[in-house]
């Protein structure tokens, strides 16, 4: 009958074997989800290295357990118990590292996706700004304002001119001047009578 320590060791080893496989799958999926930035790639390489170490430690513990079980009946009970407890302590340490690596990988993925969303938002805002600048009319707008001021000034000047004299005012003044000049010219062309001389009277 297996002791409590043996059952604990086998349970932890089974969790490690399953956990390392799940970690490998999760790591491969994370590679596809995050962008291939230099910082992300460096972090993923670090995760891969740690996952490889955990897998190697798990395999070593499994080999040690198999060896201990093969020598169980030849070892002194106290020696066997000591070896089982030693491997159980190592397995628990590897399991703690595996759980920590899962948490670190989740945090890394969350942070990487958040930074990527911020980058996309900034890029989208920059593209919208470039589109707005490209579609804007040439110039800084002061030319249009000056042109409107010029048109308004000319319109006001025309209104003031029309309101002051109208179109008939200048013509009437011109007609009067021409009439006066015409009358005076007529008077100048009137023939003058020559005075009668005394000789004609005699």
Q: Give the whole-angstrom CA distance, residue 54 versus residue 85.
A: 19
In a domain, 183, yes or no: no
Q: Give the whole-angstrom CA distance, residue 107 versus residue 112.
A: 8
Q: Which two tokens stand for residue 44?
A: 């993923």
**Eight-class DSSP state of 36:** -
pTM confidence score: 0.58
Q: Name residue, tokens 């980058």.
A: 119
Provide the 10 A C-beta neighbour count for residue 14: 11
In a domain, 198, yes or no: no
Q: Give the whole-angstrom CA distance, residue 12 versus residue 92.
A: 7
Max Cα distance, the chain (Å) = 196
* 85 burial level (CB within 10 Å; 0-12, 13-18, 19+): middle
Domain interval for residue 70: 4-134
Contact 6, 84 (CB under 8 A): yes
The count of domains in the chain is 1
In a domain, 146, yes or no: no
Categorize the per-residue pLDDT at 177 as very low, low, confident or very high, splitting at 50, 70 and 90. Answer: very low
What is the pLDDT, as a whole number, of residue 202? Answer: 43
Q: Give the whole-angstrom CA distance, residue 112 versus residue 120.
A: 12
Element (H, E) at 177: helix 168-189
In a domain, 25, yes or no: yes
In a domain, 129, yes or no: yes
Question: Which CATH number fits the domain that encloses residue 124?
Answer: 1.20.140
- 143 vs 40, residue with greater confidence: 40
What is the pLDDT, as a whole number, of residue 74? Answer: 85
Categorize the per-residue pLDDT at 158 as very low, low, confident or very high, splitting at 50, 70 and 90. Answer: low
In a domain, 17, yes or no: yes
In a domain, 199, yes or no: no
In a domain, 153, yes or no: no
Q: Which two tokens stand for residue 27?
A: 């790591």
Helices within 71-141 (DSSP H only): 77-135
29-82 pLDDT tens trace:
999 999 888 889 999 999 999 999 999 999 999 999 999 888 888 888 888 899
Average pLDDT (97-123) is 88
């Amino acid at each position: 009958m297996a002791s409590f320590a043996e059952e604990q060791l086998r349970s932890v080893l089974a969790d490690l074997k399953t956990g390392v496989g799940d970690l490998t799958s999760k790591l491969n999926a994370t590679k596809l989800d995050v962008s291939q930035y230099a910082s992300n790639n460096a972090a993923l390489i670090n995760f891969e290295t740690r996952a490889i170490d955990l897998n190697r430690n798990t395999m070593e513990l499994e080999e040690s357990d198999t060896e201990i079980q093969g020598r169980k009946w030849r070892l002194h009970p106290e020696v066997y118990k000591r070896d089982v407890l030693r491997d159980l302590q190592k397995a628990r340490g590897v399991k703690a590292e595996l759980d920590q690596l899962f948490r670190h990988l989740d945090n890394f993925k969350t942070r990487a996706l958040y930074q990527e969303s911020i980058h996309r938002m900034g890029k989208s805002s920059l593209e919208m700004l470039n589109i707005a600048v490209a579609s804007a009319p040439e110039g800084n707008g002061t030319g249009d304002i000056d042109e409107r001021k010029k048109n308004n000034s000319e319109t006001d000047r025309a209104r003031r001119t029309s309101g002051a004299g109208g179109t008939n005012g200048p013509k009437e003044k011109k007609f009067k001047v021409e009439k006066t000049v015409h009358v005076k010219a007529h008077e100048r062309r009137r023939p003058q009578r020559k005075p009668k001389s005394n000789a004609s009277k005699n």
